[in-house]
Amino acid sequence: MPHRALVVGDLMLDVFSEGHAGRLSPEAPVPVVLQSTRVYTPGGAGNAAANLAALGDEVTLVAAVGDDPEGLRLRAGLNAAGVKDQALITGNGPTTCKHRVIANGQQVVRLDVEQPAEPELTAACLDQVRRSIGAVDVVLISDYAKGLCTPEVCAEVVRLARALRIPVVVDPKGVDYSRYRGAKLITPNLAELNQATPANLSTLQQKALALVDSLGSAVLVTRSADGMSLFDGHFPELHLPTQARTVLDVTGAGDTVASIVGALLGRGLPLKDACRVANACAGVVVGRRGTSPITSGELLEVWEAELPTEAGVKIPAKS
């Protein structure tokens, strides 16, 4: 029986237009990019769901999407990644979209389209969560501050999961993390940690432990080139150096970390070991361009390097 995951959060379409820039426009002091490729991929909660599906999980994605061409592209991308779209809620507004233009290997501009989720959409998404949560092994909240992950939605998702003893992993946003109180793990990056903790706290340890105390959750801080640090308030903190050989694009790396940890917690792996594997997987995905999920084969290679003697936990076979 496959492991089952529920992803709740802000869904978006990631667009990458790449080409060569060799001259400036005569109309304005900006480069003219001769486009060579354009790629559409699921982003935000969609990337998290795609990561879980790539690892062999059966994924239910609860999110909002527009009734527009971008929404159709997004649904097609999710289906191609093995993520079913039957739990998506269609709204009246446009599909959230991030369009990145890359010239000569460097991002030159990003065009965003977004509209906050309407109350009817958030209510419908919560109804979908209530229908789905009893049949899953782990819950992932992917918050990109696009309107779906309101305090009421997040608190109710965590409450429902805790009542069923299902671990909740949160990829957070904003300055008020009280909406995530009671989750198993929160995964802010360093900038997000600084925004969410008092200015009078000066060290990484002070800031992370302040969140641990206030939320009752473990905190995994992703620190870019400095790796990751795990704090849970019970055991000494765990500092993991980065394993990235080359950093080409950090887009979606946070989704990868949260989804890998969630997938492994859902399989019964201890939190510290799940974070070790996720750290190594993040080093893989930042070495390629665009929003790209980890594959089961890559996970197996990381697993054999990080936890060669671990037994009793089922991981995907190499494809």
Q: Coil, strand or helix: which one is 84?
A: strand
SS3 132: helix
**Distance, CA of 58 to CA of 47 (rounded, Å):** 14
CB 315 within 8 A of CB 303: yes
Token couple for 240: 């993991």
- Burial class of 156 by CB neighbour count within 10 A (0 to 12, 13 to 18, 19+): middle
CA angle in degrees (0–180, nearest 5) for 70-75-79? 150
Catalytic residues: 255
Residue 123 sits at φ, ψ, to 5 deg, of -65, -40
